[in-house]
Structure 1
Amino acid sequence: MALSLAQAHQRRARAAMESAKTTPQQSMAGATAYEHQLNQLLQDRLRLKAIQSNEGKAALKRQLLPQYIPYIEGVLEGGKGAQDEVVTTVMLWRIDVGDFTGALDLAGYVLKHQLVMPDRFERTAGCLVAEEIATAALKAQKAGDNSFDRDVLYRTLEMTEDQDMPDQARAKLYLAAGRATLVDLSTETRGQAGQLEAGIDLLKRAIELHDGCGGKKDLDNAERLLKRHTALTA
């Protein structure tokens, strides 16, 4: 059931007030708004566990996420970085449903305050954000869908630049960004100034991080294309 405007306002205000009182060294456990939302999260996780299909899980998450908006807005408004399983889980759910901009908005808070992912995720927040967004982009690219927003990938690269993660995970993100940068470029279409060169640099970095990332063919094609453009303008 959707929240009324009054309920949403009350939940947002309470979350902002309680998160403002909780220091980064503490957990939000015990705060009324957090406990209410955490209880809802546990119930929703049980519903998700009963679904085997990833598409089905994503569809349910899309229905559930609006219920968390007031709480999340309150935390972002007043929060000082207390550990918060609701915030980290909603961040991941937004990635799962394709709301990458919303996920990165939350990731900014999570990474700034070094929030810890629940143990079940087995990855740091920075690694999870980088790898999950890269995986979504690579999956779309493999399927021939080149509409994945490269600005999302650039923003993810910037936000996770100083985050510790396996080289293979970071290589995925560079590979996805490189491919997205080179989309639709051809002998006739070079794109914006420096775009082709930027794509090549991203692919080189991906291969440098992980030789088996799968970007060597992309790099060969891009370098041949650069030579053709160079010859045409000589």
Structure 2
Amino acid sequence: MVSPLKRQRDAILANQLAAAMPQAGTVNTDSLHIKLIELEEDRKRMRAQFNARADRTDHKRNVLIPKYKPLAETYLAAGEKYENPIFSTLIVWLFDIGDLSTAIDWCLKAIELELPTPEFIRRDWPTFCADSVLKWAETQAEHGHSIEPYFSQVFAKIRDDWRLHEEVNAKWYKFAGYFLLRDDEGKPRPSAIADKATLEQAKAFLQQANEYHSKIGVGTMISKIDMRLSALETGKNL
């Protein structure tokens, strides 16, 4: 059951949506208000119907995203700035199904427009994007798959534009450092790396991670990098 406060908020948003999309012709406040209610009901129905995360992801990919994506695309095409729960929810779902190309592009647009995240997400867009892409990259790396171009795209934002919590930054820099140190089995092992520049870059990432959060746990790996660099300097094979 939709609360009176939620109903009032959706009505206000529906008015904003209708005012911003006059070119749609058949679009009106009532129909948009219905779409917002439908969205909430679809979310509740999905949670009640599917327990497994994989089943919910499939439902989003096959049913919900095709249903609501045209509305989000219409919103983007309008070029207006106003809160749109359909658009913001679609961003989250696109991350969920692994469509990172669209998800990141839309997330950056939401940041540009200073839009809030959906009510069920308790993080801002930069943090949500960072967490989502790092989780994806960890899974990709674990299975030996490429993490590009999405890892570098978001890492550049983290380094140059976004001010995130120190622990979030630390996790990213730690992953970046460990990723450079991977051996043939995908494990971080400095002794498997013969290129000094790669070792030094990995060390710089890990030192930065430690500066952001001293409990991130990279001290031992930094020591191993130093040992490897020393071995390469002296010609020893460690």
Task: Report the equivalent of 1:135.
Answer: 135
- Aligned letter for 1:201? A
> Does 1 or 2 have the higher relative contact order (CA < 8 Å, sep 6+)?
1
TM-score relative to the length of structure 1: 0.70
Contact persistence 1:174–1:205 (CA under 8 A): yes
1:191/1:106 Cα in 2 relative to 1: closer, same or farther (>3 Å)? farther
Q: Which residue of 1 aligns with 2:212?
A: 209
The 8 Å contact of residues 206 and 222 in structure 2, kept in 1 or not, is answered as yes
CA distance in structure 2 between the partners assigned to 1:131 and 1:69 by the alignment: 23
- Partners of 1:59 and 1:94 in 2: how far apart? 11
2:166 pairs with 1:177: no
Could you tell me which residue of structure 2 aligns to residue 85 of structure 1?
85
In the alignment, residue 136 of structure 1 is paired with which amino acid? W
- For 2:204, the aligned partner's letter is D
Write out per-residue CA displacement over residues 111-139 of structure 1, whole angstroms, 9 at most, x where no aligned residue: 11111112331111111111222233335
| Contact 1:20/1:79, CA 8 A, preserved across alignment | no
Larger radius of gyration: 2
Instruction: Answer yes or no: is the 8 Å Cα contact 1:190–1:196 preserved in 2.
Output: yes
Report the equivalent of 2:47: 49
Q: Does 1:199 align with 2:199?
A: no
Cα distance change on mapping 1:74 and 1:138 into 2, 3 Å: same
Residue 157 of structure 2 corresponds to 159
Q: 1:176 to 1:188 in 2, by over 3 A?
A: closer
Q: Is the 8 A contact 1:146 1:183 kept in 2?
A: no
Tell me the secondary structure at the aligned position of residue 118 of structure 1. coil
The 8 Å contact of residues 203 and 215 in structure 1, kept in 2 or not, is answered as yes
Aligned in 2, Cα 1:37/1:111: closer, same or farther, shift over 3 Å?
same
Question: 1:95: how far off?
Answer: 1.7
Aligned residue type for 1:213: I
- Report how many residues are paired: 208
Q: Report whether the alignment pairs 1:147 with 2:145.
A: yes
Percent identity for Structure 1 against Structure 2: 21
Give 1:4-153 correspondences, 5 Å limit.
22=20, 35=33, 37-50=35-48, 51-63=50-62, 64-139=64-139, 141=141, 144-153=142-151
Give the Cα separation in 2 of the matches to 1:231 and 1:19. Answer: 67
Q: State the shift of 1:106 in Å.
A: 0.9
Q: Distance in 2 between matches of 1:36 and 1:176?
A: 44
Q: CA RMSD in A?
A: 3.5
Note the residue ranges of structure 1 that are not aligned, 5 or more in a row: 1-17, 24-29
Q: Decide whether aligned partners of structure 1 residues 19 and 130 sit closer, same or farther in structure 2, where only a CA change above 3 A counts.
A: same
